[in-house]
């Protein structure tokens, strides 16, 4: 129990009877009576007020929160007695979360069941615990304050904000582009599964002219193709130290995971089978290719909490594991960051040695700071060195990507804020044949 501000104020007012105590005959009695009454009221206040753990309190929240956006949390509290109280609540929010209202003050009326709301913004993916709740109740008379820490535990998972990424990018700006691309693909007869034969229309791909039917009828006919469904796509995510670098406070691994979520959803919507393999020096996660909403949840449960390590990436182990799991030809989207020639050669050697049947695309994140530095105007001597270093790093990076491309591994390098969308669009372009794998962003 603590003394409230009201009690302290009344105790300070007691200085007056203390001063009267110097008056012979009456002063001492006034001082004693005042303090006796004050402490009697304190005891009454304490006895009338329920203990904080007598309040019925629950925390209501989703088991899955979205990264980098505000998520609502509700605290329900039920007053068990027929008195009104002032209450303060402070929830035990994980350190990596922002909170919009750390200490919540409110009044709860007699027998009231009250809902208190606040919001949190997770800054990192993963699994977290809200371990307890701190409550402080001011007594009926406002003289005492009782405080408790209540063990109310909630375990939650923080996922990339899939809804926001999908809505703000694909469903607004890119949805029409994707649909138009699919329609164009169909009109041009581009695809991998034969569907029908129809008359040639201007703009159709001449390579798909059916010469047998054309010769027999005397009119041009083309073969019409639909995109092949049930293709196999694997998300191969490097979690080694090369993915630990941050751009604008977000690690390269986080950018990769965000893109992987969107690709997984898109691929499943197209009817493809999608699998997951994350690795560093060991295989960390392995999900066999599948389809459907239940499979997407399995992928999400394995993706949301992958973290970088300080180890190196063992590409031989990764590709050999992939080949053992899936020997049918697949499109492998390898999220990594080849930082020099040797790194690129390791990827090529592992792919050719263990999984050459699979089509591989390396997906890397461009560092905008390098390109800004390379284009900066030279104002002083130090700028020459910085600009030259940036140009050299960019040139080395392009030559590293060239090693991959000349070996048959294709590369997409994209800026961080466009990485998810460029990855999805490249997957669609490759699937529909609208864009060659070899083109780099």
pLDDT at residue number 334: 97
- Phi and psi at 380, nearest 5°, equal -150, 175
Which whole number is the average pLDDT over 62-85? 89
CA pseudo-torsion sign 43, 47, 53, 55: negative
> Per CATH, which fold does 232-432 belong to?
Rossmann fold (3.40.50)
Tell me the pLDDT of the chain averaged across its residues. Answer: 82
Per DSSP, the chain holds a count of helices (H) and strands (E) of 13, 22
- What tens digit of pLDDT does each residue of 308-337 get? 999 999 999 999 999 999 988 899 999 999
Read off the pLDDT band of 23 (50, 70, 90).
Answer: low
pLDDT at residue number 440: 47
Q: Is the pLDDT of residue 172 over 50?
A: no
Helices 5-13/27-48 angle, 10° precision: 170
| CATH homologous superfamily for the domain 52-159 | Immunoglobulins (2.60.40.10)
Read off the pLDDT band of 16 (50, 70, 90).
Answer: low
Read off the pLDDT band of 189 (50, 70, 90).
Answer: very low
Which whole number is the average pLDDT over 201-212? 72
- What tens digit of pLDDT does each residue of 147-163 get? 889 999 999 999 887 66
pLDDT at residue number 314: 95
pLDDT at residue number 195: 53
What is the percent of the chain where pLDDT is above 70?
Answer: 81
Return d(Cα 68, Cα 248) in angstroms, integer.
13
Ranges of beta strands (E only) in 241-294 are: 246-247, 250-251, 273-279, 283-290
Q: Which residue is it, tokens 């303090």? A: 35
Which whole number is the average pLDDT over 340-355? 93
- Phi and psi at 192, nearest 5°, equal -125, -10
CB 62 within 8 A of CB 109: no
């Amino acid at each position: 129990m603590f003394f409230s501000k009201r009690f302290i104020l009344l105790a300070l007012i007691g200085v007056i009877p203390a001063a009267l105590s110097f008056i012979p005959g009456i002063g001492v009695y006034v001082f004693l009576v005042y303090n006796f009454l004050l402490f009697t009221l304190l005891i009454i206040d304490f006895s009338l007020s329920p203990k904080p753990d007598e309040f019925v309190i629950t925390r209501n929240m989703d088991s899955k929160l979205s990264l980098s956006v505000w998520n609502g949390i509700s605290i329900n509290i039920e007053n068990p007695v027929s008195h009104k109280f002032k209450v303060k609540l402070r929830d035990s929010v994980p350190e990596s979360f922002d909170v919009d209202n750390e200490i919540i003050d409110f009044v709860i009326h007699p027998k009231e069941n009250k809902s208190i709301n606040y919001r949190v913004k997770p800054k990192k993916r993963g699994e977290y615990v809200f371990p307890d709740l701190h409550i402080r109740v001011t007594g009926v008379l406002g003289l005492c304050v009782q405080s408790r820490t209540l063990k109310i535990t909630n375990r939650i998972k923080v996922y990339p904000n899939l809804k926001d990424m999908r809505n703000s990018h694909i469903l607004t700006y890119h949805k029409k582009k994707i649909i138009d691309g699919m329609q164009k693909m169909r009109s041009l007869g581009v695809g991998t599964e034969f569907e029908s034969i129809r008359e040639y229309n201007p703009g159709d791909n001449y390579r798909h002219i059916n010469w047998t039917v054309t010769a027999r009828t005397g009119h041009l006919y083309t073969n019409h193709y639909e995109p092949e469904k049930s293709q196999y796509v694997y998300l191969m995510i490097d979690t080694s130290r090369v993915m630990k670098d941050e751009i604008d406070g977000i690690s390269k691994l986080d950018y990769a995971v965000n893109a992987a979520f969107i690709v997984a959803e898109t691929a499943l919507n197209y009817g493809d089978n999608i699998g997951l393999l994350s690795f560093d020096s060991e295989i960390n996660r392995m999900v066999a290719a599948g389809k459907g909403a239940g499979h997407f949840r399995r992928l999400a449960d394995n993706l949301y909490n992958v973290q970088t390590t300080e180890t190196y990436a063992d590409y031989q182990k990764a590709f050999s594991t992939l080949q053992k799991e899936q020997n049918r030809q697949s499109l492998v989207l390898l999220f990594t960051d080849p930082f020099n020639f040797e790194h690129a050669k390791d990827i090529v050697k592992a792919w050719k040695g263990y999984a050459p049947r699979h089509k591989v695309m390396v997906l890397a994140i461009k560092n905008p700071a390098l390109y800004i530095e390379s284009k900066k105007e030279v104002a002083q001597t130090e700028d020459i060195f910085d600009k030259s270093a940036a140009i050299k790093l960019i040139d080395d990076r392009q030559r590293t990507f060239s090693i991959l491309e000349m070996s048959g591994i294709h590369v997409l390098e994209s800026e961080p804020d466009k990485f998810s969308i460029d990855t999805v669009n490249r997957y669609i372009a490759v699937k529909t044949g609208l864009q060659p794998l070899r083109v780099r962003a």
